[in-house]
């Protein structure tokens, strides 16, 4: 995601963020992007169901 | 009174009227007055209230109305637990004047058990992002060395218990916030099973991952605090309607026969720990084996898989909770929390759902492994507590957490002290149980504590800390 796309997301969320903060967040966003990619990578045996916290294993 | 008793030790003496709750509370108050200027463990001490509650407890006990092992015991509450008539700030400018009209369910239960409230304890702001130096109160400091971080987010809870300012404290844990300060401060801390302890009246960080639980000097003390606070609560929609067992019943059974799976790849490959921590973990495993535990290595999905799913869920839910405050009172957040929350705005609904789907997959894998063992053992932290000034703003994004897997799974998990590192600071292991099997988890932790001498070592005397 580019810096401008990130700034647009904040504006859409109703947040007026200082340019230097957007720069810093864009710098750290690579970690988030990698995590998003990881959870979106299908894994073998993935039941593709959403976790419900009280459905705990026996 | 010089030595700091555990809750269990104090309770035995209080019950037979050999220890006065008034004197016990006065000793804690004296330590608070001496050490609070150094440790900053409290946001709102309530020493006058505590003295009055102690007098009431003493009168009740004297007339034979003993309520149980927490009667007359001084405790502290993480300042995200709502307290009627006592401000609840979340360590944030946002809530600096917030005085709730009702108690959190856990607060009500602890009061009903006869505890003495010494005050509201420091936390990372809204339980995320610290230590911060731009908030209305300074961050808590580690009693083993005030230049060191306590860990968080239950920072004041860890510091206050370790220093003997209270005998027990409440914490909350979304990604390690009970277990990390317990580890860095050398105390015991249990994150119970998701749903075991009510979160009604506790300010949320991430609804689906938040857990409430205690920190105390020993596993036995954690069991006593858990006994008083566990149970179904209709005020909390995530509360589990399950029977509450006797958490102390199995403590004396020791570790013989327990099947313990070592998640070695977490701390050797996925996030290698410092040599002293590795040596302490190996020594602890050896102690457990020698005492009759059945040890084997097990494999779980890599730490980074768990950390990725948890981070996406936490940031998404945290942003949803605080979005309006970010819009209306942006600068009333500290920078560390505020900038983390902002990252939640970058996560889409499909990505949040993908994280929940991955959570289910990871938990299915964990459940399969847990069929073959009673407990898991792995690292709690990578090493000793870091220097306060060395805690990076974005810490946690570079190395995967040992704690987060068990917030995703909702499993009960504990930090247990396993020695001291080269700087004289505590080291810890993490034990993990099966869902709703806290008795076995506490049994193993207590059994280990009895095998070793680590519980006999406290931070250096208060006078020495004060002189620094």
pLDDT tens digits, one per residue of B93-123: 999 999 999 999 999 999 999 999 999 999 9
Closest CA to B204 of B172, B243, B166: B172
- What is the per-residue DSSP string for B291-349? TT-EEEE---S-HHHHHHHHHHHHHHHHHHHHHHHHHH-GGGS-HHHHHHHHHGGG--H
- Given the residues B92, B132, B153, B172, select the one marked as catalytic: B153
Determine the pLDDT at residue B398. Answer: 85
Residues of B in contact with A50 (CB under 8 A): 353, 356-357, 360
**Domain containing B416 — which CATH number?**
3.90.1300.10
Q: Is the pLDDT of residue A56 over 80?
A: no
> Touching check for B363 and chain A: CB below 8 Å?
yes
Name the residue facing A43 among B347, B361, B398 (closest C-beta): B361
In a domain, B247, yes or no: yes
Mark which residues 36-55 of B lie under 8 Å from A by CB: none
Q: Which two tokens stand for residue A32?
A: 């988030």
Mean pLDDT of chain B: 96
Q: What percent of chain B has pLDDT over 90?
A: 96
CB-neighbour burial class of residue B368 (10 A; exposed 0-12, middle 13-18, buried 19+)? exposed
Q: What percent of chain B has pLDDT over 70?
A: 98
- For residues B426 and B421, what is the distance between their CA atoms, to the nearest angstrom? 6
Closest CA to B148 of B169, B134, B168, B162: B162
What is the value of ipTM here, to two decimals?
0.90
- For residues B446 and B250, what is the distance between their CA atoms, to the nearest angstrom? 10
Determine the pLDDT at residue B461. Answer: 63
In a domain, B412, yes or no: yes
Q: How confident is the model at residue B2 (pLDDT cuts 50, 70, 90)?
A: low
Q: How confident is the model at residue A58 (pLDDT cuts 50, 70, 90)?
A: very low
CA torsion, ordered B356, B349, A39, B345, to nearest 10 deg: -110
Q: Is the pLDDT of residue B125 over 80?
A: yes
Determine the pLDDT at residue B397. Answer: 87
Residues of A in contact with B436 (CB under 8 A): 56
Instruction: State the smallest CA–CA distance between residue B409 and chain A in angstroms.
Output: 8
Phi, psi for residue B319 in degrees, rounded to 5: -65, -40
**Is residue B44 helix, strand or coil?**
strand
In a domain, B159, yes or no: yes
- For residues B38 and B244, what is the distance between their CA atoms, to the nearest angstrom? 39
Contact A47, B361 (CB under 8 A): yes
For testing the chain A interface, which of B346, B373, B409 should be mutated: the one with the most A CBs within 10 Å?
Answer: B346
- For residues B285 and B260, what is the distance between their CA atoms, to the nearest angstrom? 9
Range of the domain at B241: 7-467
Q: Which two tokens stand for residue B278?
A: 């590795």
- For residues B71 and B21, what is the distance between their CA atoms, to the nearest angstrom? 8
The pLDDT tens digits for B170-210 are 999 999 999 999 999 999 999 999 999 999 999 999 999 99
In a domain, B242, yes or no: yes
Determine the pLDDT at residue B464. Answer: 62
Closest CA to B427 of B447, B452, B406: B452
Cβ contacts of B368 within 8 Å, gap of 6 or more: none
Helices B438-451 & B219-229, crossing angle to 10 degrees? 160
In a domain, B405, yes or no: yes
- For residues B378 and B409, what is the distance between their CA atoms, to the nearest angstrom? 15
Geometric angle at alpha carbon B56, from B51 and B61, rounded to 5°: 125
- Given the residues B92, B155, B157, B177, select the one marked as catalytic: B177
Q: Is the pLDDT of residue B417 over 50?
A: yes
In a domain, B349, yes or no: yes
Q: Is the pLDDT of residue B373 over 90?
A: yes
Question: Judging by DSSP bridges, how do beta strands B188-191 and B413-420 pair with one another?
Answer: antiparallel
Q: CA separation (Å) from B245 to B12, B37, B41, B228? A: 21, 40, 32, 11
In a domain, B2, yes or no: no
Q: Tell me which chain B residue has its CA closest to the CA of residue A29.
A: B343
Query: Under the phi-then-psi rule, with left for phi > 0, alpha for psi from -120 to 50, and beta for the rest, what region is B464?
Result: alpha
The pLDDT tens digits for B51-99 are 999 999 999 999 999 999 999 999 999 999 999 999 999 999 999 999 9
For testing the chain B interface, which of A11, A29, A35 should be mutated: the one with the most B CBs within 10 Å?
Answer: A35
Residue B308 bears catalytic tag: no
> Touching check for B330 and chain A: CB below 8 Å?
yes
Residue B177 bears catalytic tag: yes
Determine the pLDDT at residue A55. Answer: 62
- For residues B264 and B379, what is the distance between their CA atoms, to the nearest angstrom? 8
Residue B401 bears catalytic tag: no
> Considering only A16-25, A37-46, B212-221, B312-321, which range has the smallest mean pLDDT?
A37-46
Contact A15, B330 (CB under 8 A): yes
Closest CA to B378 of B282, B307, B457: B282
Q: Tell me whether residues A25 and B343 touch, CB distance under 8 A.
A: yes
- Given the residues B78, B191, B199, B434, select the one marked as catalytic: B78
Q: Tell me whether residues B194 and A53 touch, CB distance under 8 A.
A: yes
Across residues B398-412, what is the average pLDDT? 96
Q: How confident is the model at residue A45 (pLDDT cuts 50, 70, 90)?
A: low
Q: Tell me whether residues B354 and A36 touch, CB distance under 8 A.
A: yes
Mark which residues 267-306 of B lie under 8 Å from A by CB: 304-305
Across residues A4-33, what is the average pLDDT? 95
Q: Is the pLDDT of residue A47 over 80?
A: no
Instruction: State the smallest CA–CA distance between residue A12 and chain B in angstroms.
Output: 9
Instruction: State the smallest CA–CA distance between residue A20 and chain B in angstroms.
Output: 12
Using a CB–CB cut-off of 8 Å, the residues of A that contact B are 1, 6, 9-10, 13-17, 21, 24-25, 28-29, 31-32, 34-36, 38-40, 43, 45-51, 53-54, 56-58
Number of domains present in the structure of chain B: 1
> Touching check for B29 and chain A: CB below 8 Å?
no
Q: Tell me whether residues A34 and B351 touch, CB distance under 8 A.
A: no
Rounded to a whole number of angstroms, the CA Rg of chain B reads 20
In a domain, B1, yes or no: no
The pLDDT tens digits for B322-347 are 999 999 999 999 999 999 999 999 99
């Amino acid at each position: 995601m580019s810096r401008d796309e990130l700034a647009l997301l904040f504006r859409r969320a109703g947040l007026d963020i200082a340019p230097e903060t957007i720069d810093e967040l864009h710098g750290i966003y690579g970690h988030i992007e990698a995590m998003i990619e990881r959870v979106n990578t299908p894994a073998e045996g993935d039941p593709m169901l959403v976790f419900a916290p009280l459905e705990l294993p026996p | 009174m010089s030595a700091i008793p555990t809750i269990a030790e104090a309770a035995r003496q209080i019950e037979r009227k050999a220890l006065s709750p008034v004197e016990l509370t006065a000793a804690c108050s004296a330590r608070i007055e001496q050490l609070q200027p150094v440790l900053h463990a409290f946001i709102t001490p309530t020493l006058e209230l505590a003295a009055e509650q102690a007098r009431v407890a003493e009168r009740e006990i004297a007339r034979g109305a003993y309520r149980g092992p927490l009667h007359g015991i001084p405790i502290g509450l993480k300042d995200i637990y709502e307290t009627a008539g006592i401000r609840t700030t979340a360590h944030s400018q946002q809530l600096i004047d917030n005085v709730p009209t009702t108690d959190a369910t856990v607060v009500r239960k602890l009061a009903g058990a006869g505890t003495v409230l010494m005050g509201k304890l420091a936390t990372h702001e809204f339980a995320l992002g610290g230590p911060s130096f731009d908030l209305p109160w300074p961050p808590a400091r580690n009693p083993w060395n005030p230049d060191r971080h306590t860990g968080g987010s239950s920072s004041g809870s860890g510091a206050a218990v370790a220093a003997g300012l209270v005998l027990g404290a409440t914490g909350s844990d979304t990604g390690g916030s009970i277990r990390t300060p317990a580890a860095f401060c050398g105390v015991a801390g249990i994150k119970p099973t998701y749903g075991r302890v009510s979160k009604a009246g506790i300010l949320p960080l991430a609804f689906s991952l938040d857990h409430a639980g205690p920190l105390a000097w020993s596993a036995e003390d954690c069991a006593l605090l858990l006994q008083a606070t566990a149970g179904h609560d209709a005020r909390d929609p995530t509360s589990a309607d399950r029977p509450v067992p006797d958490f102390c019943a199995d403590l004396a059974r020791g570790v013989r026969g327990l099947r313990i799976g070592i998640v070695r790849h977490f701390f050797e490959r996925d996030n290698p720990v410092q040599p002293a921590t590795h040596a302490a973990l190996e020594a602890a495993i050896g102690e457990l084996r020698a005492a009759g535990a059945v040890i084997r290595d097990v494999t779980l999905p890599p730490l980074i898989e768990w950390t990725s799913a948890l981070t996406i869920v936490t940031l998404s839910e945290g942003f949803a909770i605080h979005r309006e405050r970010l819009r209306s009172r942006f600068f009333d957040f500290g920078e560390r929390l505020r900038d983390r929350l902002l990252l939640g705005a970058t996560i889409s609904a499909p990505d949040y759902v993908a994280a929940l789907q991955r959570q289910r997959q990871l938990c299915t894998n964990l459940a399969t492994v847990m069929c073959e063992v009673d407990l898991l053992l792995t690292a709690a932290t990578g090493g000793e507590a870091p220097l306060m000034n060395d805690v990076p703003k974005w810490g946690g994004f570079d190395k995967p957490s040992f704690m987060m897997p068990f917030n995703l799974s909702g499993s009960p998990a504990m930090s247990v002290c396993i020695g001291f590192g080269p700087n004289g600071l505590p080291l810890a292991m993490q034990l993990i149980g099966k869902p709703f099997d806290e008795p076995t988890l506490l049994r193993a932790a207590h059994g280990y504590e009895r095998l070793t001498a680590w519980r006999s070592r406290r931070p250096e005397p208060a006078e020495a800390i004060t002189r620094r």
